[in-house]
Amino acid sequence: VKFFTPVGIRAWLATELDADGDIPGVGTMAAPAEPRTAP
């Protein structure tokens, strides 16, 4: 039995959508915020 958890679905969607590049927001959500706050 496979349990669908928010993290699992998010990771799966990030992999699927990031490959197509349809929704860049999904990929950037997992990216660290340090580069943005860096001077």
Mean pLDDT of 11-36: 58
Q: Supply angle C-alpha 16, 2, 9, rounded to 5.
A: 30
Assigned domain for 18 exists = yes
Assigned domain for 10 exists = yes
Assigned domain for 25 exists = yes
Confidence band for 18, pLDDT divided at 50, 70 and 90: low
Q: List the domain range (segments joined by +) for residue 13.
A: 6-37
Locate the DSSP E strands across the chain: none
Assigned domain for 22 exists = yes
Assigned domain for 20 exists = yes
Assigned domain for 1 exists = no
Assigned domain for 19 exists = yes
The pLDDT value recorded for residue 36 is 55
In the chain, the amino acid numbered 37 is: T
Query: Is the pTM for the entire model greater than 0.85?
Result: no
Question: How many domains, the chain?
Answer: 1
Assigned domain for 29 exists = yes
